[in-house]
Amino acid sequence: MNSIIGRRIIFVEESTSTNADLKRMAFELDEGSVLRAARQTCGRGRFDRSWYSDHQSLTFSVLLRPHLPVKFMPLLLIYPSVSLAKLLHSRQIPAGLKWPNDVKLGGRKIGGVLVENTVKDGKKNEVIIGIGLNVNQSESDFPLELAASAGSIFSATKNRLDQDELFHSIVKQLDQDYQDFILTHNFSQLIEQWLSFCTHLHDKVTVTINGQVCEGVFTGLSSTGKAILDINERSVLIHQFNHFEDKNAADY
Ligand code: BTN
């Protein structure tokens, strides 16, 4: 199949947030367009948290129009994480995934994915997938409040990577996986691959449901990409909007 993601790549020196800017530009762009910024002044993560990045990070967003039934939308958060983990593993970088969207290495978060839907005429018809990946930072480059939790590929491996080459390889992997998993609705293989990179399968985790913190064991993913937790011997499906913590995070 012809490539979709990366047919057009727009590079800007500065963006407030590539997700926000791509959303604004989407009406004049084809599916698969990518907006990459050297710097973000107001990068965002899940739960509207701010996302730290600098010139040693990759920050970019992809525009998709996937015609996916709404219940499968959570898989759009799972799929880019699998692409990132696969690509890093192909370079002997043993990244792991924490549900729903964290990329981890050496016990620290090195990347994340933010998926946002644009609703038009009552239909979810556009999806913006934003990816942030810390590539070449040293530990001391991160702000103090992230010092204990954030890392980069360099801080874990001591190998500096060519950011442009890495970016283009990630775009290629995203394109391949979009066709292999999403367009072909091959969700079971996507989930299988995600689980193979998961850092907390069968671990005790906590999740906040309606303001209440519950403890359970993470046993897998549902066919639509929700987390399955055993809580008091009941299987409970957890949506990506619930706060989720794995208790062994420091071990990975
Ligand atoms: C998270 O872990 O909470 C998701 C972080 C996603 C950050 C990326 S950087 C590119 C894109 N633009 C944004 O403002 N956010 C995403």
- pLDDT beyond 90 at 98: yes
Cα separation, 237 vs 216, whole angstroms: 11
What are the residue boundaries of the structural domains of the chain, listed by start? 9-197, 204-246
Residue 102 alpha carbon, nearest atom of ligand 1:
2
Q: Which of 3.40.50.300, 2.40.50.100, 3.40.50.261, 3.30.930.10 would CATH assign to domain 9-197?
A: 3.30.930.10
Average pLDDT, whole number, for the chain? 92
Tell me, in angstroms, the distance from the centre of ligand 1 to residue 173's CA. Answer: 18
In the predicted structure, residue 209 carries a pLDDT above the cut 50:
yes
Could you report how far apart the first and last alpha carbons of the chain are, in Å? Answer: 37
Q: Average pLDDT for residues 38-60, to the nearest whole number? A: 94
SS percent in the chain: helix, strand, coil, step 5: 30, 35, 35
Q: Residue 121 — pLDDT band, cuts 50, 70, 90?
A: low
Evaluate whether 113 touches 51 at the Cβ level (below 8 Å).
no
pLDDT digits (tens, 9 = 90+) for 27-38: 999 999 999 999
The ligand 1 atom at the shortest distance from the C-alpha of residue 112 is: 2
Predicted local distance difference test score (pLDDT) of residue 120: 62
User: What pLDDT, on the 0 to 100 scale, is given for residue 248?
Assistant: 59
Q: What is the mean pLDDT of residues 40-65?
A: 94
pLDDT score recorded for residue 251: 40
From the CA of 207, how far away is ligand 1's center (Å)?
A: 21
Give per-residue pLDDT as tens, 160-208: 999 999 999 999 999 999 999 999 999 999 999 999 999 999 999 998 8
pLDDT level of residue 246 (50, 70, 90 thresholds): confident
Alpha helical stretches, state H, the chain: 18-25, 75-90, 153-157, 163-177, 187-197
Confidence of residue 214 (pLDDT cuts 50, 70, 90): confident
Nearest to 132 by CA among 142, 124, 140: 142
Strands 204-209 and 123-134: unpaired
pLDDT over threshold 70, residue 93: yes
β-strand pairing of 9-15 with 34-40 = parallel
Q: What pLDDT is attached to residue 252?
A: 38
User: Which amino acid, residue 48?
Assistant: D
SS3 for 5-38 is CCCCEEEEEEECCHHHHHHHHHHHCCCCCEEEEE
- Whether residue 61 contacts residue 130, with contact meaning beta carbons closer than 8 Å, is answered with yes
Ligand 1 close to Cβ of residue 61 (< 6 A): yes
CB of 63 closer than 6 angstroms to any ligand 1 atom: no
The answer, yes or no, to whether residue 52 has pLDDT greater than 90, is: yes
Closest atom, ligand 1, to C-alpha of 17: 14
Work out the average pLDDT over 143-169.
96
Averaged pLDDT for residues 219-237: 93
Over residues 124-138, the pLDDT tens digits come to: 579 999 999 999 999
Copy the structure tokens of residue 161. 């990577």
Question: Which fold, 204-246?
Answer: SH3 type barrels. (2.30.30)
CB 51 near ligand 1, within 6 Å: yes
Cα–Cα distance for residue pair 165/9, rounded to 1 Å? 14
Q: What is the mean pLDDT of residues 100-107?
A: 94
Q: How far is CA 96 from CA 63, 101, 155, 173, 240, in A?
A: 25, 11, 15, 17, 18
Does residue 118 carry a pLDDT above 90? Answer: no
CB 136 within 8 A of CB 161: yes
Tell whether the torsion through CA atoms of 177, 174, 1 and 30 is positive or negative: positive
DSSP string across 32-69: T-EEEEEEESS-B-GGG-B----TTEEEEEEEE-----
35 lines ligand 1 (CB under 6 A): no
- CB of 111 closer than 6 A to ligand 1? no
Fold match, 9-197 / 204-246: no
Pocket test of ligand 1: the residue of 114, 133, 171, 242 to mutate, having most ligand atoms within 8 Å of its CB, is 114
Indicate the top mutation candidate among 10, 11, 44 to test ligand 1's pocket, ranked by most ligand atoms within 8 A of CB: 44
Look up residue 86 and give its DSSP letter: H
